[in-house]
Amino acid sequence: MNGLATRDLIIQGSYLAASVLFVLGLRSLTRPTQARLGMQQAAMGMLFAIIGTLLNANILTFQWIIIGLVVGAIVGYPMAMKVPMTAMPQFIAFSHAFGAVAATLVGVVEYRVRSAATGDEGLSHGLAAALGFEVLFGALTITGSFMAFGKLQELITGRPITFKGQNAVNLTLMAVAFGSLAVLIANPANATAFYLILGLALFLGISMVLPIGGGDMPVVISLLNSYAGLAAAATGFAIGNNVLIIAGALEGAGGFILSIIMSKAMNRSFANVIFGAFGAAPSSKGGDKGAAKEPKSISAEDAATQLAYAGSVVIIPGYGMAVAQAQHTCRELDELISKKGGEVKYAIHPVAGRMPGHLNVILSEAGIDYGALLTDVEDANRVLATADVAIVIGANDIVNPDAEDDKSSPLYGMPIFRPWTARTVFVIKRGKGTGFSGVENPLFTRDNTLMLYGDAKGVIGSLIKEIKALDEGH
Amino acid sequence: MTQIFQLYVFILAGFVGFIVIQRVPPLLHTPLMSATNAISGISLVGAIVAAGGQYGRVSTILGFIAVVCGATNVVAGFLITDRMLAMFKGQLKTPDAGGKKPETSK
């Protein structure tokens, strides 16, 4: 008897330690210098929780657990060590899907076991509610994340896929899913309702992510992050485990906060992102406005001369920079300008890239000091106002002045950078097209804007060559 | 009664998460997401019990798959977070052969 109590105490102790280390780990993320250590401690917490669980008296055989853990480690290790920072959003989507599969399957097992049992071990209404939410959020996250993965990896088109009455279909399915949940809670033995929720949620994950365009991915990924957390928390309710509830609540809160930040940075509501299907609408409108003026272009040689004598340069990268893999060349240019006495800063918009903070990790991986990254739009605009040169690389909507000037623009109200307040603006752009939103950009026709057409990596490479050539001429 | 306790834990943990995570700077938003993702891989704990609990063959198989997925989530999540945070650790300019070479040509 005594031995049993000690064992339970050890298990609960390991869970408590894990919960505390998780919270401390997340808190360490408020300071870049402490973050790594804090998260390593959180990983230790996870190890404690796993070891503690292995002491559980209900576990009778260990072979499948051990094989499963080893296979998971073998799959996870190379994935994590090899993935490039540019592919981080896909990777996170994938990882969400894995976690959600685990949560959902635990829910199915628990439902099967509990509905076969009787008395205290049987299904109560509360338990049915927890299991219903678990498979609902879990299944939604599984297919939603796989769809997001497919879009980000460009296995399926990144453009919104829409059909008539799509929102009505989705809303109906959602209503049926919640209806089934209500039935399940009222009558926990109703297995049809349980599996209907599972099936509908799997389908909803697909049909909700399909109409969302690539540029809106930061919101989708954050939302899936939140759902994955809620699925884990519901698992905790179902199996009566507090560490799952705590970890799930932490992730749920994190994903929720990020979704709000991302939506704000695009000046759009959640509902608009989910049901809006941006991009299809107003592209025809801007055309006649822009037609009056042609953008001016500049040669790499002339641009290099200006950069060589610039005192302060602000680089505004967008996802296009990551696509062109130009971040390393960018760092070389940075070093060259710095050596000549100029100061280089980077203005990183909250929604630049395909997930929250995406470009920060891409630039950091390239070896750019994070002290040079301006992640606050207002701060960045203050620096831009006194800069000699602003270089826009593969970004479009986040520097579109229409967001401030044109009330009819779909971007209106979005907080943006003001590169035109710098003395000169260079825009490095692949060709004369619009951004993902299909909106014309009047920045390109401003008086102090000069275009450098071409692949970002190639253009920056030739800028570097020209600046070096200037040196040799002296 | 237990469910009321669970709700307490959930809501309080949610508040803690809200307060702590709100202070994470945009610089670290990507690591934040991978960190919370790794932490919620804690579902693995439930998967372990399902896989080892002798609830019949179907449950064992489902539990086994859940352990594989959960373990992948945990291992990959923590490793990638560590990889990213290692890049943000020092203020030192990374010693990079490619960046230093031009100096010698002067």
CB contact under 8 A, A361 and B30: yes
Say if residues B49 and A15 touch (Cβ distance below 8 Å). Answer: no
Q: Smallest CA–CA separation between A22 and chain B, in Å? A: 7
Catalytic site includes residue A288: no
Lowest average pLDDT, out of A278-287, A460-469, B63-72, B89-98, goes to A278-287
List phi, psi (to 5°) of B54: 55, 55
Task: Name the residue with higher pLDDT: A30 or A438.
Answer: A30
Neighbour-count burial for A306-317, b at 16+ CB within 10 Å, e otherwise: bbbebebbbbbb
Please report the DSSP string for A326-358 in residue order: -HHHHHHHHHHHHHTT-EEEEE--TTSSSSTTH
List phi, psi (to 5°) of A190: -75, 90
**Segment holding B12, helix H or strand E:** helix B2-22
| Tokens 């981080």 -> residue | A88
Whether B57 is covered by a domain: the verdict is yes
Residue where a domain stops, chosen among A56, A80, A104: A80
pLDDT band at A439 (very low <50, low <70, confident <90, very high): low
pLDDT band at A292 (very low <50, low <70, confident <90, very high): low
Lowest average pLDDT, out of A62-76, A191-205, A253-267, B87-101, goes to B87-101
> Mean pLDDT across chain A, nearest whole number?
87
Say if residues A320 and A362 touch (Cβ distance below 8 Å). Answer: no
A111-120, A176-185, A202-211, A389-398 — most confident range: A176-185
The residue count for chain A: 474
pLDDT single digits (tens) B81-105:
999 999 886 554 444 433 333 333 3
Whether B7 is covered by a domain: the verdict is no
Whether B65 is covered by a domain: the verdict is yes
The residue count for chain B: 106
> Is A285 a residue whose pLDDT tops 70?
no
Rounded average pLDDT over A360-374: 90
Rounded average pLDDT over A129-144: 95
Q: What is the largest CA-CA distance in chain A?
A: 90
CB contact under 8 A, B82 and A71: no
Whether A287 is covered by a domain: the verdict is no
> Quick count: other Cβ atoms within 10 Å of Cβ A87?
15
- Domain of residue A118 covers 83-280
Lowest average pLDDT, out of A127-141, A217-231, A401-415, goes to A401-415
Lowest average pLDDT, out of A34-48, A125-139, A437-451, B49-63, goes to A437-451
Catalytic residue among A397, A402, A406, A455: A397
Rounded to whole angstroms, the Cα distance separating A341 from A371 reads: 17
Task: Name the residue with higher pLDDT: A28 or A216.
Answer: A28
Q: What number of CA atoms fall less than 13 Å from residue A127's CA on the CB side?
A: 20
State how many domains chain A has.
Answer: 3
Name chain B contacts of A109, Cβ cutoff 8 Å: 50, 55, 59, 62-63, 66
Whether B19 is covered by a domain: the verdict is no
Of B41, B82, B93, the CB nearest to A99: B41
Rounded to whole angstroms, the Cα distance separating B88 from A128 reads: 44
CB contact under 8 A, A247 and B40: yes
How much is the pLDDT for A437? 57
> Is A356 a residue whose pLDDT tops 70?
yes
Of A195, A95, A83, A191, the closest CA to residue A141 belongs to A95
> Mean pLDDT across chain B, nearest whole number?
83
ipTM: 0.86
- Domain of residue B50 covers 36-87
How much is the pLDDT for A332? 92
How much is the pLDDT for B105? 36
pLDDT band at B16 (very low <50, low <70, confident <90, very high): very high
Whether B96 is covered by a domain: the verdict is no
Whether A196 is covered by a domain: the verdict is yes
Whether A18 is covered by a domain: the verdict is yes
Percent of chain A with pLDDT over 70: 93
> Is A291 a residue whose pLDDT tops 70?
no
Phi-psi category of residue B103: left, alpha or beta, with phi > 0 → left and psi -120 to 50 → alpha: alpha
| Tokens 């005192």 -> residue | A311
Say if residues A136 and A173 touch (Cβ distance below 8 Å). Answer: no
Query: Within this chain, do residues A73 and A107 fall inside the same structural domain, yes or no?
Result: no
β-pairing, A312-317 with A389-393? parallel
Put the strands of the sheet holding A343-347 in their side by side order. Answer: A373-374, A343-347, A312-317, A389-393, A424-429, A449-453
Query: Within this chain, do residues A51 and A123 fall inside the same structural domain, yes or no?
Result: no
Say if residues B27 and A380 touch (Cβ distance below 8 Å). Answer: no
Rounded average pLDDT over B47-68: 91
Structure tokens at B41: 């891989």
Query: Within this chain, do residues A65 and A100 fall inside the same structural domain, yes or no?
Result: no
pLDDT single digits (tens) A230-281:
999 999 999 989 999 999 999 999 999 999 888 888 887 777 766 655 434 4
Whether B15 is covered by a domain: the verdict is no
Q: What number of CA atoms fall less than 13 Å from residue B96's CA on the CB side?
A: 15
